[in-house]
Structure 1
Amino acid sequence: MLMKRNKALKEVKGSPSQALITGTLAFFIGFAAVALFGTTAHKISSILHLSIVEIGWLVAIPLVTGSLLRIPFSALVEKYGGKRIILIQLIIALIGMIGIVITLTLIHKILYIGYFMLILFGALAGTGISAFSSGITYVSYWFSLRKQGLALGLFAGIGNTAPGIFTAILPIALICLGLIGAYVIWSLILVVGLTIFAIFGIDAYYFQLRKIYKEKTLEEAKKLGEEIIPTDSALTSLSNALRIWKVWLLVIMYLTSFGGFEALTEWLPTYWQEFLHVNIVEAGLLVGVLFSLIAALIRVLGGWLSDIFGGENVSLVAYIILLLGSLITLDSFKFTQSIIGEIIMALGMGIANGAVFKLVPKYAYRSVGGASGLVGGLGSFGGLLLPPIMAYIVNVIGISGFAYGFIVFTSLSLVSIIFTLILKRRSDDMNIIQ
């Protein structure tokens, strides 16, 4: 039996770098759905004659499923491994994309139900967004605690560039390919990425060994270098995470930074067009490049710095930067000042995103799947909650509300700074005890 197990240890496949590359690719193609209807809403609206409320729901619906489904899917990784779960998410997303293409092809024949079909298939396509939390868990099992920051920073940072890239190129695709052609190309990209992940994606050693022995293989996995071991139960993982109070602080912190990132990716095109009167292509570039891409790429730096200086310290600096950016934008009625504020907010949000997820395996190392789902899922609700709040401020105050609406981020930044100081104090106390 011992010889059999030693032989199995030599037969396990894959490497941390392979898992990081394949997981990042899967997340990238799934997360692009954040920008699913944002740029095309005006074209769809002109065909279906939608109200502003109907447009709002159309834009938001992928984020609804993308947020809610992060929690169960991430927890299921604990039991079944990441590859199977991520494939299911991407297949559902592909079904949604194909449904959108078919609906748009028949749109003039099904005007009365076309909107509801787009809502339905948009919800399915939004399942790809939920690959974030399951992908985080999938990658986490391959890396030691001291390397989590950089690994997860690269995963999320590169994956998070998808909305920015798609927001920037969709207006051009619409001009060159038309509405249906743009979604056809998007579907093909999803097919290619899904196929690559199906071939090269691979679960951590623990799941491979468990498949061989049909039982828990903690010691064998540890011999191969795994530090973070699954609980084998999605419900147990989620239940354990729910009882960790530090996880709930991370939820609010992530709602501020990542939920804020999603919210501003949706809100800023309207801000630039309605408040500062730029055209749609310029608004797409301002949001896609100067906000979304910067916030996504700087996340890698946030994760790397967290490995060196600690997630709590980096989070503190990041939320102070975000606070500064929100104050600049809050007082801005000028183009240049708004750009400066937007870029500073992008830097703060991106660095904070990398730092916060460095802390998830630290405070929930035996329930990474459940904790990742809670932090990623509930935190991303900021993308749903914050734009309506900012819109309400505009309705109450008038056009100047576009600037004053950033008080939302000023307030959330202050709360996140307080929560970070609490975690930092607890971490310092733990170090003293050790």
Structure 2
Amino acid sequence: MIKKIQLPLQTMNLIAGFMIWVLLSSLMPFIKEDIAIPESKLALVTALPVVLGSVLRVPLGFYANQVGARVMFLLSFILLLFPVYYISAADSLTDLLIGGLFLGIAGAVFSVGVTSLPKYYPKERLGLVNGIYGAGNIGTAISTFAAPMLAEKFGWTTTVQFYLVLLAIFIAANFFLGDRKEPKVKTSLVEQIKGIYKNEKLWLLSLFYFITFGSFVAFTVYLPNFLVTNFELEKVDAGIRTAVFIAVATVMRPVGGWLADRFHSLILLMFTFGVYTISAIILSLAPSIAWYTVGCLTIAFCAGVGNGVIFKLMPMYFQKQAGIANGIVSMMGGLGGFFPPILLSVLFNITGHYAIGFMALSEVALASLILVIWMYYQEKIAITKKGMHSSAKESRLNVLNNRVKRA
């Protein structure tokens, strides 16, 4: 019974973690009314939780194999009580920066589930399983949708304190329902790193996830304030539109995993990055709100599919080093969400528009498309050579058998 509830439990853990991870960006239109934040620092405040949330994914993925998901989720949620309370009492930019940095723990819990859950399911179902778990991204949509509404009624400081109750609920849930007997992997961190750091697939998948999950995170933290300042939308309206973006990306993640269980994963990634390139070009043209919506939702669609496909490939390419490999790739995805908002802010201050930033995204997506095509044909060549080698070996065995018979 305990094993059967790990997928829903860990998915709910991820929802709670991601709700907390984007707390500052969800409430930023309200926070900046009470706390003076220079326009040049806004991107830093909202992006800072992504830093620790990215870097911590490596050790959390590793230790999830060592001590199990139950311990890691419990420890993470207990530690999060402190920065959430600290932010609820914040009255300066420094307070927001310090609290926001440690909110990153909430984003790091992603690598716990993707390391733990494959232990419970056969390989042919891992795309769907990791996709369902990854749908915990919907936590960001819940916060961007609900937090502004709560802040309108109760104020932003009380809204932040509501998240302390959420944390208490999940601490109790993991204590009683977490799997105490999860299989452990005791390979040392150094041995795991030695086993994968020369593997080119690790770094290619890191780049792909840097774009797909990175853009998901970047748009999540960047859209609420951008839509208010650039298109002069109401704060709640901006939150709802951001929530729709997140919802589309989240729904498409398990769909991407499901598709990867049935079709060639690399062909699916070709489609993903091809459409990505076109969508980013649309955004670079500084379009109206209607075309901007089309470009954003198309990127959300591609981000979701791409995220699902990549974590179908992870357990196929990395079995013995799943913890550290998942940690590194998911770390790169998180860092992909840190740099774009800051880059866009810098470029806007220099040029007065965001076109160059979105054009850069389209170029990186195009480069990824070319690399995926290269991977696809490399695998086809490897399969062909393996087939030829097997045929030659079989022919030699037939010759030897014939000689034996004649003898």
Q: TM-score, normalised on structure 1? A: 0.84
Superposition deviation, residue 234 in structure 1: 3.1
SS at match of 1:243: coil
Q: Deviations over 1:360-389 (max 9, x none)?
A: 111111111010000001221011111122
Worse-superposed segment, 372-381 or 417-426: 417-426
Aligned-partner SS, 2:2:
coil
Aligned-partner Cα distance in 2 for 1:117–1:386 = 23
**Is 2:369 aligned against 1:369?**
no
Contact 1:75 1:237 in 2 (8 A): no
SS in 1 for 2:354: helix
Give the superposition deviation at 1:404.
4.5
1:113-192 alignment, distance < 5 Å: 114-157=92-135, 159-192=136-169
Which residue type is aligned with residue 18 of structure 2? F
Aligned residue number for residue 77 of structure 1: 64
Spell out the pairing of 1:197-236 with structure 2 (5 A cutoff).
197-202=174-179, 205-207=182-184, 230=185, 232-236=187-191
Query: Of residues 245, 248, 257 in structure 2, which corresponds to 1:303?
Result: 257
**Aligned AA (1:316):** M
Residue 253 (1) aligns with residue 180 (2) = no
Output the CA distance in 1 between the equivalents of 2:148 and 2:142: 11
2:396 corresponds to: none
1:136–1:372: 8 Å Cα contact kept in structure 2?
yes
Is residue 334 from structure 1 mapped to residue 311 from structure 2 by the alignment?
no
Kept in 1: contact 2:215–2:336 (CA 8 A): yes
The aligned amino acid for 2:110 is F
Question: What secondary structure sits across from 1:202 in the alignment?
Answer: coil
| Structure label with greater radius of gyration | 2
Distance 2:77 2:268 in 1: 33
Aligned residue number for residue 3 of structure 1: none
Report matched runs for 1:82-121 at 5 Å.
Answer: 82-101=69-88, 103-104=89-90, 107=91, 114-121=92-99
1:192, distance to aligned residue in structure 2 (A): 0.9
Matching residue within 252, 263, 267 for 1:313: 267
Structure 1 unaligned residues grouped into runs of 5+: 1-12, 108-113, 208-229
- Give the deviation of 1:260 after TM superposition: 0.9
**Kept in 2: contact 1:95–1:125 (CA 8 A):** no
* Among 424, 427, 434, the residue aligned to 2:376: 424
> Aligned to 1:277, which of 225, 232, 237?
232
CA contact (8 A) 1:231 1:366 kept: no
Kindly state the Cα deviation for residue 339 of structure 1 after the two structures are TM-superposed: 1.1
| 2:16 counterpart of 1:14 | no
Which one-letter code corresponds to 2:289 in the other structure?
A: F
**2:340 counterpart SS class:** helix
More off after superposition, 143-152 vs 307-316: 307-316
Q: Quick check: 1:32–1:129 contact (8 Å CA) kept in 2? A: no
Map 1:17-36; keep pairs closer than 5 Å.
17-36=4-23
Aligned partners of 1:71 and 1:370 also within 8 Å: yes
CA contact (8 A) 1:271 1:402 kept: no
Give the Cα separation in 2 of the matches to 1:332 and 1:301.
30
State the alpha-carbon separation in 2 of the partners of residues 88 and 205 from structure 1: 16
Q: CA deviation at 1:403?
A: 4.2
More displaced stretch, 419-428 vs 305-314: 419-428
Partner in structure 2 of residue 413 of structure 1? 365
Amino acid at match of 1:247: L
Contact between 2:20 and 2:163, CA under 8 Å: does it hold in 1?
no
Distance change in 2, residues 1:235/1:89 (3 Å) = farther
Q: Distance in 1 between matches of 2:73 and 2:382?
A: 35
Provide the secondary structure at the position in 1 that maps to 2:142: helix
Partner SS for 2:320: coil
Distance in structure 2 (CA, Å) of the matches to 1:333 and 1:174 = 31
Matched residue pairs, number? 386
Q: 1:332 to 1:54 in 2, by over 3 A?
A: closer
Contact 1:76 1:234 in 2 (8 A): no
1:287 deviates by 1.2
CA displacement, residues 88-131 of structure 1 (integer Å, 9 cap, x when unaligned):
12211122212323x24xx4xxxxxx433333232222201100
Give the Cα–Cα distance (whole angstroms) in 2 for the partners of residues 140 and 33 of structure 1.
25
**Deviates most, 421-430 or 365-374:** 421-430
CA contact (8 A) 2:255 2:308 kept: yes
Q: Distance between the aligned counterparts of 2:297 and 2:42, measured in 1? A: 27
Helix, strand or coil at the partner of 1:365: coil
The whole-number CA distance in structure 1 between the counterparts of 2:271 and 2:46 is: 32
Cα separation, 1, equivalents of 2:194 and 2:181: 23
Alpha carbons 1:154, 1:300 under 8 Å: kept? yes
CA–CA distance in 2 between the matches of 1:56 and 1:344?
Answer: 23
Pairwise CA distance, 1:430: 4.5
User: What displacement does 1:303 show?
Assistant: 0.5
SS in 2 for 1:420: helix
* Secondary structure in 1 matching 2:25: coil
RMSD, matched Cα: 2.0
Aligned match of 1:294 = 248
C-alpha contact 2:68 2:182 (8 A) present in aligned 1: no
